[in-house]
Chains A and B, each alone.
Chain A
Amino acid sequence: MANTGSSFAKPGVVVGQPFWLLAELTYRCPLQCPYCSNPVDFAKQGTELTTDEWIDVFRQARDMGAAQLGFSGGEPLVRQDLAQLIKASRDMGYYTNLITSGIGLTEKRIAEFAEAGLDHIQISFQAADEEVNNMLAGSRKAFAHKLEMARAVKAHGYPMVLNFVTHRHNIDSIDRIIELCIELEADFVELATCQFYGWAELNRAGLLPTKAQLERAERITSEWREKLEAQGHPCKLIFVTPDYYEERPKACMNGWGNLFLDITPDGTALPCHSARQLPVQFPNVRDASLKHIWYESFGFNRFRGYDWMPEPCRSCDEKEKDFGGCRCQAFMLTGNAENADPVCGKSEHHGIILAAREEAEMAALGMDQLQYRNEKASRIIAKV
């Protein structure tokens, strides 16, 4: 494929291999979760890559060192060629992960994917409580079906990761959530406090838990961890805190274009799930080779190294640890993607984070006031 355009590679900057390839196969999804990380204008994106185009992307990334491949979306099960994509990538030596809501999963497809060589299935839950789960998912049957599919996943011998996105409306049930995961024999449980990108950012006031809620959830999780460890139980609990309660930003994606490569449904290549919103031109796999995209494109070099940083990051002795935090968060909250992530106490915009924490204490929105992710809302919200 043509490697058009000049190279924006920065001399002296060591670039890692794209170890993690995330294939967002489609933005189509039967659920409407209000914390979805998909772009709010997903309804406007271009046509989806074909089966052959995806397989070509997998080949190129594998040659560049990618070992983990995640099938995500939207809901990846919507793609009728999923088993074919799994087989092709498994044959290349990838560890293949299916990241799904479980909606659209059947025993038959679970068996078909096992045959194709799928290594692992991650099912996301909205809550451990049927009513809350279904309300958040925007579906009446979601919960019962997820339980059934989680059991089927284990019955077919897959390792299973259960993912709960936690927020102010479900985090108080964390004890019940963990109990449910153990009951379902999850190998890993991700208790991920909602991060504020895409639809979640629109709904921040209705999602951010209070500090007290968070501390309680962390305490209960550590108690469970100790209990499991004492039993020699293999289940591992992973608790992800929301960075809104930190004083230093996260080392987002382990550095810009350093480890993680996201290909969106229409072939746009991104250094993280939410980078599309940035005022940065990102390349497309239909126009350039992956090697060119990763090493030489403008978009993937934009925030590599440290020369782009303004103060307080530029002279900060922690910049090599956290890279100034998340570029998307800096852009969403300050209007300039080069700024320090406002999560950092050294940022002049840190007040925005303090105000959000205060809002969580004082003026949070109820579950009925959330903006649900669906195509109609996407067309309205994204209309300029």
Chain B
Amino acid sequence: MTVALHQTPVFRRGYRFQFEPAQDAHVLLYPEGMIKLNGSAAEILKQVDGQRDVAAIIAALEAQFPGFPTLKDDVVEFIEVACGKHWIELR
């Protein structure tokens, strides 16, 4: 899977991203299951709104967390993994 910057990630149908107070973490809920996300995964997925493309997501995160030289690569890599796991799809 290669991710292009102009593609727009969306959550796969049936996958819901939300904050769970009991876990004190963001999670991804799907049929009969849940993935507990770490802080950086949560920050990336917060940007997934079906409108912003990968480039816009990276720009938003760079503005929010300046001074991380590997941020762009990390985001692309995470999106690749998340697509491979079919949590999100690229449009």
Q: Could you list which residues of chain A lie within 8 angstroms of chain B, going by C-beta atoms? A: 17, 19-20, 64-65, 67-68, 70, 93, 95, 97, 119-120, 122, 157-159, 161, 187-188, 232, 234, 236
Q: Does A187 lie within 8 Å of B29, measured CB to CB?
A: no
Q: Does A158 lie within 8 Å of B14, measured CB to CB?
A: yes
Contact of B69 with A by CB under 8 A: no
Q: Which of A17, A65, A119 contacts B31 (CB 8 A)?
A: A119
Q: Could you list which residues of chain B lie within 8 angstroms of chain A, going by C-beta atoms? A: 1, 12-16, 18, 20, 22-23, 27, 29-34, 86
Q: Does B16 lie within 8 Å of A64, measured CB to CB?
A: no
Q: Please provide the 4 A-B residue pairs with the shortest distance between their CB atoms, ordered closest to farther.
A: A159-B14, A65-B22, A95-B29, A120-B31
If A95-B29, A234-B86 touch, does A67 touch B34 (CB 8 Å cutoff)? yes
Q: Does B16 lie within 8 Å of A95, measured CB to CB?
A: yes
Q: Which of B1, B13, B14, B22 contacts A67 (CB 8 A)?
A: B22
Q: Which of B18, B20, B29, B31 contacts A188 (CB 8 A)?
A: B31
The winner among B13, B20, B23, B33 for most chain A CB atoms within 10 A is B13
The interface residues of chain B, by DSSP majority, are classed as loop
Chain A proximity of B84: nearest CB distance (Å): 9
Q: Does A187 lie within 8 Å of B32, measured CB to CB?
A: no
The winner among A187, A232, A234 for most chain B CB atoms within 10 A is A187
If A17-B22, A234-B86 touch, does A68 touch B14 (CB 8 Å cutoff)? no
Q: Does B32 lie within 8 Å of A119, measured CB to CB?
A: no
Which residue of chain A has its CB nearest to the CB of B31?
A: A120
Residues in chain B near residue A161, CB distance under 8 A: 31-32
